[in-house]
Structure 1
Amino acid sequence: MTVRPQVARDPQTSSPWALLTCLAGVVVCSAVIYTGHWRKGAMVFALSVLAAGLMRLFLPARWAGQLVVRAKWVDCLILLTSAVAVAVLVMVVPHSQPS
């Protein structure tokens, strides 16, 4: 029988509000895409990820809560790079002209 060590979570670092703010942006993104405006919806998604990256960068760990996953620089690098990549892809994809 193996005994797993108990991981004590600090209740002050498990605040859900920063993550819920970003997830609200994803819900808005889904609603915008559902209406047929995929380009605007994808930009809302990019802004949500950018907001997560900026919150992780500027908020202390106890306020960033569940956005704290890895080291701060790794989290910020992944989130901010992903936000920029999605925004660039949205702008690069050509508009389709109705025939």
Structure 2
Amino acid sequence: MTTMTRPPLYVRRPFLAGLIRQLPLLAVLVAVGVGLLMVTFEHWRKGLVVVGVALVGGAVLRLLLPVRRVGFLAVRSRWVDVVLLAGTGLALAVIALAIPAA
């Protein structure tokens, strides 16, 4: 009796495999969208902190996930992506929190 192995998902359903690969980027974009929506509705400080935390979360995802799972979060080398995402996210959150409330 022969055992048949199923081909990998990217062979069976390439579109679905491509969507799954982009889930980390989608999560970051949704969180940034929520933060910008909060800014739109006059909760600018909380909204910018949400955007900053989303960018730091993107840095963590880029750091921990392998290249084949991270999708378009991988733009440059791993460390450049992590430093830029985390640095921008932290700077945005710190600046938003440092501005005195009127």
Do these two structures clear the TM 0.5 threshold for a shared fold by scoring above it? yes
Tell me what 2:84 maps to. Answer: 78
Query: Which of 1 and 2 has greater Rg?
Result: 2
CA spacing shift, 1:55–1:13, aligned 2, 3 Å: farther
Instruction: Please report how far the alpha carbon of residue 80 of structure 1 lies from its aligned counterpart in structure 2 after TM superposition.
Output: 0.6
Q: Higher relative contact order at CA 8 Å, sep ≥6: structure 1 or structure 2?
A: 1
Provide the TM-score with structure 2 as the length reference. Answer: 0.78
For residues 22-63 of structure 1, give each alpha carbon's deviation from its aligned partner in whole angstroms, at most 9, with x where no partner exists: 000111112211211000000110011011100000111111
Of the three residues 33, 44, 49, the one matched with 1:43 is 49
What is the count of residue pairs matched by the alignment? 86
Identical amino acids, percent of aligned pairs: 34
Give SS of 2:30's match.
helix
Following TM superposition, the consecutive aligned residue runs of length 4 or more in structure 1 with deviations greater than 6 angstroms are 11-14
What root-mean-square deviation, in Å, do the aligned CA atoms of Structure 1 and Structure 2 show? Answer: 1.7
The answer to which structure has the higher helix fraction is 2
Of the three residues 40, 48, 73, the one matched with 1:67 is 73
Contact persistence 2:53–2:90 (CA under 8 A): no
Tell me, in whole angstroms, the C-alpha distance in 2 between the residues paired with 1:73 and 1:25. 22
Consecutive unaligned residues of structure 2, counting only runs of 5 or more, are 1-13
Consecutive unaligned residues of structure 1, counting only runs of 5 or more, are 1-10
